[in-house]
Amino acid sequence: MRDWVALTKPRITLMVVLTAAGGMWLAPGDPPVHVVWVMLVTTAGVVAAANSLNCWLERDSDRLMVRTKSRPLPDGRLQPSWALASGLVLGGISVPLLAIGVNLLTAALGALALVSYVAVYTPMKPRSPMALFVGAIPGALPPLMGWTAATGSLDLPGWVLFGILFFWQIPHFVAISIVRQSDYDRAGLQVLPSARGLVRAKICAVIYTFALGVTSVMLYPLGIAGTTYAVSALVLGLAFACVALVGLHPRAGERWARQLFVASLLYLTALFIALIVDAL
């Protein structure tokens, strides 16, 4: 049972559900309690389905990486059919329930996240480093799904929430790809440092970090957040950008990438804390 749960990557699923809840909380209106619960549970189901199918598709490459070789499928503790069946059942139940219990728009976004992650992003990883940007789309959809669950429409503030998570993922995963570059190379997965070079990967991280800072502040003029959040977002964005800029030094390597990775986690956590404090 523990291995079956591991297929769904529960920590990632929990984080995604929290971002969806954040989008719903920030949206205008007051959706019924049953809609909130259906939204959160079915979103967890969609994410769990995507993760299970990802484990099934990547079971062979996972055997070649230190980080993933102890997962249930490459380690032989579960048969691949478990992951395939789990993903299909969870996805087949969760998306229709989103349509019935929330609305069609949110269900369509959930289906888009599931299909793009499993059928586009995952098969693209061994073929092109551009998979990083494709994979950032389903990773950024949950807060937009939360917004549409509450409003039933695609509004600019919801897209800003999408943009924050989209831009955040790029420097976050660039840092991971630098630290784990040998692992990815061994598994035959295309990442920016290997396919485009370390310098271009660093420049990409800097560009998207600045884009993140600008996008995060936009919640203030849109009336979603107040002055406390705006000041915090500005300071956090500048600090994160400074860490990214350090990477442009020729000697910046794995140690800097680890610092950027930690900084990305601290940034996102602090940004959401600032948003909550501001709202309260």
Q: What is the DSSP string of 168-212?
A: HHHHHHHHHHHHTHHHHHHHT---HHHHT-HHHHHHHHHHHHHHH
Identify the sign of the CA torsion 40, 42, 45, 49: negative
Residues 172 and 102 in one domain: no
**What does the pLDDT read at residue 280?**
80
CA 267 to chain centre: 14
Measured CA to CA in angstroms, residue 267 lies from 2, 7, 129, 224, 261 at distances of: 31, 28, 25, 19, 10
Q: Is the pLDDT of residue 57 over 90?
A: yes
Residues 123 and 186 in one domain: no
Q: Is the pLDDT of residue 30 over 90?
A: no
Residues 8 and 145 in one domain: yes
Task: Give the residue numbers spanning the domain of 166.
Answer: 155-280
pTM for this entry: 0.92
Cα–Cα distance for residue pair 250/39, rounded to 1 Å: 47
Residues 248 and 133 in one domain: no
- Fill in the DSSP letter of residue 78: S
Domain-ending residue, one of 129, 153, 177: 153
**What would the two tokens of residue 104 be?**
């069609």
**What does the pLDDT read at residue 258?**
96
Confidence grade of residue 67 (pLDDT, cut at 50, 70, 90): confident
CATH code for position 262: 1.20.120
Measured CA to CA in angstroms, residue 129 lies from 69, 115, 185 at distances of: 22, 19, 12
Residues 137 and 36 in one domain: yes
Domain-ending residue, one of 95, 129, 153: 153
CATH code for position 77: 1.10.357.140
Question: What's the maximum distance between 2 C-alpha atoms anywhere in the chain?
Answer: 55
Residues 164 and 245 in one domain: yes
pLDDT tens sequence across 72-86: 999 989 999 989 999
Give mean pLDDT, residues 110-128: 96
Confidence grade of residue 102 (pLDDT, cut at 50, 70, 90): very high
Residues 19 and 115 in one domain: yes
Residues 137 and 181 in one domain: no
**What does the pLDDT read at residue 205?**
96
Helix (H) or strand (E) holding 216: helix 198-217
Tell me which long-range contacts 191-197 makes (C-beta under 8 A, separation of at least 24).
Answer: 191/129, 191/132, 192/129, 192/132, 194/129, 195/128, 195/129, 196/129
Total domains present in the chain = 2
Phi-psi region of 197 (alpha: psi -120 to 50; beta: other; left: phi over 0): left
**What would the two tokens of residue 232 be?**
């915090």
Residues 55 and 166 in one domain: no
Domain-ending residue, one of 98, 127, 153: 153
Residues 137 and 162 in one domain: no
Residues 8 and 98 in one domain: yes
Residues 137 and 184 in one domain: no
pLDDT tens sequence across 169-222: 999 999 999 999 999 999 999 999 999 999 999 999 999 999 999 999 999 999
Give mean pLDDT, residues 4-24: 92
* Average pLDDT value for the chain: 94
Helix (H) or strand (E) holding 105: helix 104-115
pLDDT tens sequence across 249-269: 988 889 999 999 999 999 999
pLDDT tens sequence across 153-168: 999 999 999 999 999 9
Give mean pLDDT, residues 111-140: 96
Confidence grade of residue 279 (pLDDT, cut at 50, 70, 90): confident
